[in-house]
Amino acid sequence: MSFILAANWKMNKGPAQARAFFDQYKKNQSLSGIKTLFFVSSVNASVTGDALEGTDLYWGPQNIFPAAHGAFTGETSPQVMKDLGASYVLVGHSERRKLFFESDQQTNVKLHSASEFGLNPVLCVGETFEERKQGRTLEVLNRQLIIGLSNLEPKGELHIAYEPVWAIGTGEVASIDQVSEAHQFIRKFLSEKLPHHHDNIKILYGGSVKPENARELSQGKEVSGFLIGGASLDPEIFFSIARAIKG
Ligand code: PGA
């Protein structure tokens, strides 16, 4: 079973920079046992679809609106992304939840929509610093999972990214014990609620993953992938994380 290495470029790069990144990145030999995904902003969808066509690198948008077309100003159509070659989608990233007030109910609607349009979703969950301080981490994960995954019968792949909000873009990394505790909790939840699917669901860690800490974090219990922001923007640094995981 391969380890997922997912890049979240957020609102960075334009088409020329995206093309230059992929030209460089594709010079690397692909590493067996690692599946690489790129979550790009919708302005880079077309260029990414062209650059990755016929390769073993996959991509998708960072958000979708749950409809194929229509009067939804400023939104991204899952149908159009699919047509451009996307196969994955990020749902419920903490920046969407915090800055755009995305609720657990909306993540659920988007997961259903992803499934309808044939995009494999990666659902992001994670507690804020306040919630951790109050000892509410597992309660928050439980709520995000119960509502987010409600009535979902995954058709293709489904993955979960555990991203403690306080570790995103801060340089502060969760300890291996904190990561293992959250991942084991998520695994138990999945085995109870989605018993027929949970073997195929990977649990990714995200939050200040770097080449220097990747190897140790990859050995946390139930860690079967990473979602990487800052360290995914440079092709050399991102690839050195893949190498670090292989050891
Ligand atoms: P980071 O971001 O690697 O820059 O902490 C991770 C993410 O937001 O997915």
Show the tokens assigned to 167.
């570790």
Stretch (H or E) spanning 39? strand 34-40
**Mean pLDDT computed over 10-20:** 98
Q: Minimal CA–CA distance to 57: which of 23, 105, 91? A: 23
User: Exposed/middle/buried for 34, CB within 10 Å: 0-12, 13-18, 19+?
Assistant: middle
**Mean pLDDT computed over 110-134:** 97
Task: Look up residue 229 and give its amino acid.
Answer: G
The alpha carbon of 230 and the centre of ligand 1 are apart by a number of angstroms equal to 6
- Closest C-alpha to ligand 1, atom 7: 229
Tell me the HSE value of 205 on the side-chain side, using a 13 A CA sphere.
29
Q: Is the dihedral of CA 60, 66, 70, 74 positive or negative?
A: negative
The alpha carbon of 66 and the centre of ligand 1 are apart by a number of angstroms equal to 25
Q: Which residues of 133-159 are buried (b: 16+ CB within 10 A; e: fewer)?
A: eeeebeebbeebbeebbeebebeebbb
CB of 62 closer than 6 angstroms to any ligand 1 atom: no
Indicate if 163 belongs to the active site. Answer: yes
Atom of ligand 1 nearest to the CA of 10: 8
Q: Which of 41, 168, 204 to mutate to test the pocket of ligand 1 (most atoms within 8 A of CB)?
A: 168
What is d(CA 51, CA 119) in angstroms, rounded to the nearest whole number? Answer: 19
The alpha carbon of 113 and the centre of ligand 1 are apart by a number of angstroms equal to 24
**Mean pLDDT computed over 114-132:** 97
What is d(CA 66, CA 199) in angstroms, rounded to the nearest whole number? Answer: 27
Residue 219 CB neighbour total at 10 angstroms: 13
Show the tokens assigned to 176.
């291996």
What is d(CA 78, CA 203) in angstroms, rounded to the nearest whole number? Answer: 23
Question: One of 127, 163, 181, 222 is an active-site residue; which one?
Answer: 163
Instruction: Kindly report, residue by residue over 22-70, the tens digit of the pLDDT.
Output: 999 999 988 899 999 999 999 999 999 999 999 999 999 999 999 999 9
CB of 163 closer than 6 angstroms to any ligand 1 atom: yes
The alpha carbon of 8 and the centre of ligand 1 are apart by a number of angstroms equal to 7
Task: Look up residue 184 and give its amino acid.
Answer: Q
Instruction: Kindly report, residue by residue over 137-149, the tens digit of the pLDDT.
Output: 999 999 999 999 9
- Overall pTM > 0.95: yes
As beta bridge partners, residue 227 has: 6, 206
Indicate if 222 belongs to the active site. Answer: no
Instruction: Kindly report, residue by residue over 68-112, the tens digit of the pLDDT.
Output: 999 999 999 999 999 999 999 999 999 999 999 999 999 999 999
